[in-house]
């Protein structure tokens, strides 16, 4: 959000045989749910990648593939990417401002539209916190426990949705967090 991304690996000739780039369209082109991605790799790895890919996933639908093709080839792509980056930056900053107002511990993202919040002071792991929040406040978050042991005390929110709904949800989350923290303290 706050700078241009540049990879030295992708431009370095001597690294071409060692770099595998994996990308998608979900975030940059706002195509979540379309399930389209791509890989750029050295030719000598192609046969191995195909063997690994086939049992894991099948082809994206033809509609998704055409949408991805259009996203890559449209003369409007750069403008769209710039506009989406601006929109997400504004939303991210508004969510972070609200979290700061409530003195919430979180990790500010540099990209994507997810933000992680530390819920350890509530005395609950991420799954317990997420389920209680959903039941009591009707706010859904992703328990980061499902991403591995380092996420035991973290929940993830998505700020890509409609701004008023996102900010309302974040405010409810903050109030819930502080109520649970006070009980645990």
| Residue pLDDT, tens place only, 59-77 | 677 888 898 899 889 999 8
The two beta strands, 114-118 and 106-107, are antiparallel
| Residue pLDDT, tens place only, 135-149 | 999 999 999 988 888
Report domain extents, the chain: 8-74, 78-184
Query: What's residue 4's pLDDT?
Result: 67
Quickly tell me which residue has 């979900």 as its tokens. 26
Residue 115 has phi, psi (to 5 degrees) of -140, 140
Measured between alpha carbons, how far is 46 from 112 in angstroms, rounded to an integer? 28
Query: What's residue 129's pLDDT?
Result: 95
Among 125, 111, 176, 134, which Cα is nearest to 155's?
125
CATH number of 78-184: 3.90.1150.10
Among 28, 9, 31, which Cα is nearest to 19's?
9
Q: Mean pLDDT, consecutive 10-residue segments, the chain of 185 residues?
A: 62 76 81 80 86 70 86 89 91 97 94 92 93 96 90 94 95 94 70
Which residues 6+ apart lie within 8 Å of 26 measured at CB? 32, 33, 34
């Amino acid at each position: 959000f706050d700078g241009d991304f540049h990879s030295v690996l992708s431009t370095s000739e001597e690294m071409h045989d060692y770099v595998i780039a994996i990308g998608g369209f979900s975030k940059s082109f706002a195509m979540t749910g379309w399930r389209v991605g791509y890989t750029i790799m050295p030719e000598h790895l192609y046969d191995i990648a195909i063997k690994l890919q086939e049992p894991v996933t099948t082809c994206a639908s033809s509609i998704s593939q055409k949408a991805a093709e259009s996203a890559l080839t449209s003369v409007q792509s750069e403008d769209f990417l710039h506009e989406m980056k601006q929109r997400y930056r504004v939303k991210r900053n508004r969510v972070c401002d609200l979290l700061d107002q409530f003195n919430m511990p979180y990790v500010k993202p540099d990209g994507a539209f997810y933000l992680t919040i530390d819920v350890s002071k509530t005395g609950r792991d991420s799954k317990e916190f997420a389920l209680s929040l959903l039941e009591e406040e009707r706010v859904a978050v992703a328990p980061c426990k499902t991403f591995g042991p380092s996420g035991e005390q973290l929940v993830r929110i998505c700020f890509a949705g409609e701004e008023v709904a996102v900010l309302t949800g974040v405010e409810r989350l903050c109030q819930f967090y502080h109520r649970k923290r006070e009980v645990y303290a």
